[in-house]
C-alpha cells in the first residue's frame, strides 16, 4: 500500500497533482495524508507492508521526523529513507558530509542565537555573502549582503525572527557567481544514485526582489514563438510558502558534464538518498559548488521542460511497487 505524506495546509497545486496522478495510476488505492494526519495515527496501526512516500520539504519534515524514525525502526518502508533525510535536512550536517567526501562547497559558517559571536568575525574573506536558514526556507529567507553588513543582518533576522525558527541556525555562506555575474543554480535530479535530467534556474535581481512568501499566482506555462514550452511557473496557492524554484526564477534545460554527473553520484552515495535533486552553483572559473540535496523536490517543472520524456513520479512508484524495476532514463 502506498501512502503519500504531504504538508498540512497544502492544496492541490500542479506540483502535487502531478505526483497524485502518477501514484493513482500505479496503485488506485493510494492514500494521501497530511503531516498532521500522519502524526495523529499510531504507526503500528498501519500494515507493515505500507510504503510511505515523503513529499514534505526540509522546513515541514521536522514536524514528522521523530514519527518517521520510529516507523523506520519498526521496519516500514520510507521513501526517501530516514537516514538520508537526516543527512540532507540540516545544511551544516550536509556540508560536513560533503567535506568528508571531497565534494566542493562554498565557504560557510553556522550561527545560533547564542553564538558564536558574529560581531567579532571578519567576513571579508568570503567576498559577497549569502545568509540563509540551516533548515528549509519559509519562503523568503535568502539574503545577498556585503561582508561588512553580515552582523547587522543577523541581528535583524534574530530580532524579527525572520526565517529563524525553532531548532534552525543561520548559515553565512560565500556567494558564488558565474562568468555572467548572474544568480543561476543548476539542479540535477538523481534516481537510485544516477543523474536523470537537469535544469537551470536563473533569478534576475529585479524578479527576485519582487518575489516573496506572500506572492501567490496561478500556474502559468510559458511558450516560445514556435509553440515550444520555455518554462513553467507555479505556486502553492493557499499555503504560506513559495519554493525557491518559483521565486522569480526562469528555468531551462541543462546538460551536465561527466564531471558534474560524477559529483552527483558521490553525493548520492554519501547521503544514501534514493531520489533527490542536487543544487549547484558554478563560479567564474567553471568550478561547481554543491549547495544542497533536496528530499522532496518539485518535479513538474522538469517534466514540462523535457516534454514529459522523464517522469520521476512514475519511476519512483514503479520502483516502490516492484523492487526489480530499477531502470531510469540517464542523461
- Each residue of 49-69: pLDDT tens digit? 999 999 988 878 989 999 999
Question: Do 22 and 15 meet the contact criterion of CB atoms below 8 Å apart?
Answer: no
Would you place residue 249 in the very low, low, confident or very high pLDDT band (cuts 50, 70, 90)? Answer: low
3.30.470.20, 3.40.630.30, 3.40.718.10, 3.40.190.10: which CATH number matches 179-321?
Answer: 3.30.470.20
Q: Which of 94-98, 136-140, 321-325, 326-330 has the lowest mean pLDDT?
A: 326-330
The CA distance from 279 to 110, in Å, is: 19
Question: Do 312 and 298 meet the contact criterion of CB atoms below 8 Å apart?
Answer: no
Per-residue pLDDT, averaged over 207-211, amounts to 48
Distances (CA, A) of 181 to 7, 8, 98, 203, 279: 36, 38, 25, 11, 18
Determine the pLDDT at residue 152: 94
Cell of 297: 523536490
Distances (CA, A) of 92 to 20, 87, 110, 175, 228: 32, 10, 7, 16, 40
pTM: 0.85
For cell 519559509, the residue is 138
Closest-CA residue to 10 (of 28, 36, 31, 29): 36
Domain boundaries along the sequence of the chain: 2-88, 107-174, 179-321
Cell of 62: 521536522
Q: Return the bridge partners of 276, or none.
A: 190
Cell of 224: 516560445
3.30.70, 3.40.50, 3.30.160, 1.10.12: which CATH number matches 2-88?
Answer: 3.40.50
Cell of 294: 533536496
Decide if domain 107-174 falls under CATH 3.30.1490: yes
Question: Do 15 and 237 meet the contact criterion of CB atoms below 8 Å apart?
Answer: no
Closest-CA residue to 87 (of 98, 102, 78, 76): 98
Per-residue pLDDT, averaged over 151-165, amounts to 81
Per-residue pLDDT, averaged over 153-172, amounts to 81
Would you place residue 259 in the very low, low, confident or very high pLDDT band (cuts 50, 70, 90)? Answer: very high
Would you place residue 292 in the very low, low, confident or very high pLDDT band (cuts 50, 70, 90)? Answer: very high
Sign of the dihedral through C-alpha 330, 176, 244, 99: positive
Amino acid at each position: 500500500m502506498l501512502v503519500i505524506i504531504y504538508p498540512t495546509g497544502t492544496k492541490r497545486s500542479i506540483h502535487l497533482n502531478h505526483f497524485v496522478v502518477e501514484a493513482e495510476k500505479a496503485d488506485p488505492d493510494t492514500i494521501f495524508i497530511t503531516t498532521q494526519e500522519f502524526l495523529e495515527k499510531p504507526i503500528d496501526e498501519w500494515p507493515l507492508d505500507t510504503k510511505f512516500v515523503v513529499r514534505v520539504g526540509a522546513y515541514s519534515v521536522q514536524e514528522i521526523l521523530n514519527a518517521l524514525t520510529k516507523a523506520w525502526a519498526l521496519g516500514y518502508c520510507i521513501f526517501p529513507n530516514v537516514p538520508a533525510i537526516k543527512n540532507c535536512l540540516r545544511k551544516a550536517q550536509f556540508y560536513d558530509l560533503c567535506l568528508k567526501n571531497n565534494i566542493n562547497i562554498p565557504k560557510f559558517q553556522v550561527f545560533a542565537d547564542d553564538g558564536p559571536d558574529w560581531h567579532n568575525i571578519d567576513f571579508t574573506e568570503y567576498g559577497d555573502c549569502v545568509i540563509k536558514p540551516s533548515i528549509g526556507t519559509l519562503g523568503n529567507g535568502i539574503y545577498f549582503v556585503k561582508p561588512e553588513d553580515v552582523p547587522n543582518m543577523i541581528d535583524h533576522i534574530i530580532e524579527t525572527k525572520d526565517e529563524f525558527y525553532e531548532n534552525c541556525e543561520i548559515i553565512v555562506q560565500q556567494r558564488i557567481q558565474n562568468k555572467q555575474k548572474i544568480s543561476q543554480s543548476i539542479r540535477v535530479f538523481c534516481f537510485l544514485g544516477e543523474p536523470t535530467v537537469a535544469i537551470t534556474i536563473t533569478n534576475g535581481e529585479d524578479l527576485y526582489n519582487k518575489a516573496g512568501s506572500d506572492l501567490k499566482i496561478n500556474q502559468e506555462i510559458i511558450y516560445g514563438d514556435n509553440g515550444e514550452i520555455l518554462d513553467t511557473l507555479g505556486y502553492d496557492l493557499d499555503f504560506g510558502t513559495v519554493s525557491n524554484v518559483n521565486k522569480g526564477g526562469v528555468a531551462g534545460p541543462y546538460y551536465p558534464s561527466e564531471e558534474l554527473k560524477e559529483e552527483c553520484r558521490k553525493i548520492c552515495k554519501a547521503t544514501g538518498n534514493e531520489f533527490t535533486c542536487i543544487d549547484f552553483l558554478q563560479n567564474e572559473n567553471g568550478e561547481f559548488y554543491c549547495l544542497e540535496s533536496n528530499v522532496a523536490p518539485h518535479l513538474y517543472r522538469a517534466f514540462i521542460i523535457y516534454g514529459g520524456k522523464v517522469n520521476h513520479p512514475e519511476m519512483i512508484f514503479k520502483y516502490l511497487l516492484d523492487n526489480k524495476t530499477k531502470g531510469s532514463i540517464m542523461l
